[in-house]
Amino acid sequence: MEQRLLWIAGAFIGVNFLALTLIRPAYGFTHSLSFGLWIACAVIGSRILDRRLPKRDMLLFPLVMFMSGWGLTIIDRLAPRFADRQTIWLGVSVGAMLLVAILPQTIHWLRSYRYVWFTIGMGLLFSTILLGSNPTGLSGTPQLWLGTAGVFFQPSEALKVILVAFLASYLAEQYPSLRTQGFASGNHLFSTSPRIYGPILMMWSLSIIVLIWQRDLGTAILFFMVFLILLYVATGYTFILLSGLLLIVIAGFTAYNLFGVVQLRVDIWLNPWPEADGRAFQLVQSLQAFAAGGIFGQGIGQGSPGYIPVVHSDFVFAAIAEEWGLLGSITVIVCIAIFITRGLRIAALQQGRPFRTLLAVGLTTLIGLQSLMIMGGVLRVLPLTGVTLPYLSYGGSSLLMSFIMVGLLLRLSAQEN
């Protein structure tokens, strides 16, 4: 089945690259390098996985290869000068995925050395305060990357996986206590020992503070949501979700009054039309892209998604909507929904191994929530946040960590099967 799905994905991507070549004859067949590398990654990846993880989930790899290949065509269409870079990152990411998937001790290492990983992650994040840069080179923009010689990496992306692993391992040990003690045990409210909640709250708070310091509010919200969900899954208390949402509202209200960027994003979310030419330009253009795409889309290279600033990154979903129409949007949503379903299925099948279950839940939730946040943002369902659409957006660090997550899920699925 995986072979068939990869063939279908390859055909779709190949046709789009061919169409792009016809539309832009001046570029010649430079797209063939990207497509060639994609084919190589698909073939090699499939072969290695067949040999080393024959009992893995058969949908995950074709899904992410399909989305990442589609992302390559979009980036080549929207920002050709970034296409080569993204292609290289795809190769690196698939390699990292395979490494993570085939090494038998990966899951064990994540669990056993959680403090080491967390320290490394926090160290990298802290280092952006002093050594951070922005690939655009513009001043005044968030300095969230570490880079040299033209190669940039965003530590917050790595911290996503590290934090999930850390939380999963910690909650896997403590969840029996959390479930028996709970927030209300007998006549005692909040009787849970700080010894249990303290370390994870501290670790989580530290990461949130650094992220806010660095003005990466989207990732901060994502971390908080993942933390909430993992805590909910571990404890089974719906109260946690509700109180967490309340905290989000309070924090949002506070941030609105403290941070101009938050105020901006909420204002244009509520009513973008009066400032369509100004602060809400990006959002309005995104909505117009959806409208322009209609049901069947304008066709690759035939629309005008270029009016959307930074369309190849945060707003790639809008570009898909304009050129592949509602059908394209539905395809993306269905792909991510299938990914979520498969990931949570893997989690549910990890019987008697809470760390693996929570790890799978956390990784899947990361992908799902991140996708919801950015798709909701470009569609004005939610305020905009500065996160990318996994596998489709331009961004090497995001692509790398997303593939590593898939590698971990494949590892988990194979071991379970």
Partner 1 sequence: MQFTREIHRLLLGLLFGFILILLSATYYAVIGPETILQRDDNARLFEAEASILRGRIYDRNGNLLVTSVQDENGFVSRRTFYPETYSALGYYSLRYGVSGAESAYDTLLRGDNLPYDLGTYFVQDILHRPRQGSDIRLTLDLNVQRDLVRLMQDHQGAGVILSVPDGEILALVSLPTINPNTLDTNWAQLRASPGNPFFNRVLQGKYQPGSLMLNLLIAAAISNQVPLTTSSTNATRPILLGDVVLSCETPSATATLTLQEAYELGCPSPFVDLVNQLDGENIGTSFSHFQLGEPFLLPGFVSPIQAQPTVSANSAILSTPFPDEAITLEDALGQGQLTTTPLRMALIAAGIVNNGNAPEPITFLASRPPNTTEWLAAEALHPTTPITTIEIAGQLQGLMRGNMREFVANQRVVGGYSALAYSGLQTQTWFIGFMLTPSGRGVVIALLIENSDDLALVQSIGLDALESALRSVAVTLTAP
Smallest separation, CB 290 to partner 1 (Å): 4
Cα–Cα–Cα angle for 359, 361, 366, rounded to 5 degrees: 95
| Residue 352: CB minimum distance to partner 1, A | 8
- Measured from the CB atom, the residue of 69 and 325 that comes closer to partner 1 is 325
Which of residues 213 and 296 has its CB atom nearest to partner 1 in the complex? Answer: 296
The minimum distance between CB 198 and partner 1, in angstroms, equals: 23
Q: Residue 100 or residue 320: which is nearer to partner 1 going by CB?
A: 320
Residue among 311 and 347 whose Cβ is closer to partner 1:
347
| Cβ distance to partner 1 smaller for residue 113 or 281 | 281
Q: Which is nearer to partner 1, 162 or 229 (CB)?
A: 229
Nearest CA among 72, 63, 91 for reference residue 5: 63
Q: How far is the CB of 89 from partner 1 (least distance, A)?
A: 26
Q: Closest approach of Cβ 200 to partner 1, in Å?
A: 17
Q: Which is nearer to partner 1, 142 or 376 (CB)?
A: 376
DSSP conformational letter for 294: T
Report d(CA 379, CA 373) in Å as an integer. Answer: 10
* Residue 324 Cβ vs partner 1, minimum distance, rounded to whole Å: 11
The set of residues, in sequence order, having a beta carbon less than 8 Å from that of 58 and lying 6+ positions away, is 1, 2, 5
Closest CA to 228 of 163, 276, 156: 163
Question: For the chain, how long is the longest CA-to-CA vector?
Answer: 76
Name the residue type at position 30.
T
Backbone angles phi, psi at 123, to 5 degrees: -60, -45
CB of 334 to partner 1, least distance (A): 8
Residues that bind partner 1 (CB under 8 A): 229, 232-234, 236, 276-277, 284-285, 287-288, 290-296, 298-299, 302, 304, 307, 321, 325-326, 329-330, 333, 336-337, 340-341, 344, 347-348, 351-352, 354, 357-358, 361, 365, 368-369, 372, 375-376, 379-381
| Smaller CB separation from partner 1, 75 or 287 | 287
| Least distance CB 67 / partner 1 (angstroms) | 15
Q: What are phi and psi of 200, to 5 degrees?
A: -70, -35
> At 144, is the secondary structure helix, strand, or coil?
coil
What does 171-230 look like in DSSP terms, one character per residue? HHHHHHHHHHH-SEETTEET-S-HHHHHHHHHHHHHHHHHHHHTT-HHHHHHHHHHHHHH
Tokens 């009016």 locate to 307
Contact 142, 205 (CB under 8 A): no
- Alpha-carbon distance of 101 to 247, in angstroms, equals 37
Instruction: Provide the minimum distance between the beta carbon of 24 and partner 1 in the complex, in angstroms, as a whole number.
Output: 11
Q: Which is nearer to partner 1, 48 or 344 (CB)?
A: 344
300 vs 404, beta carbon nearer partner 1? 300
DSSP characters over 22-75 = HH-GGGTTTHHHHHHHHHHHHHHHHHHHHHH-TTS-TTHHHHHHHHHHHHHHHH
Report, in Å, the least distance between residue 291 CB and partner 1. Answer: 3
- The first and second tokens of residue 21, run together, are 């070549």
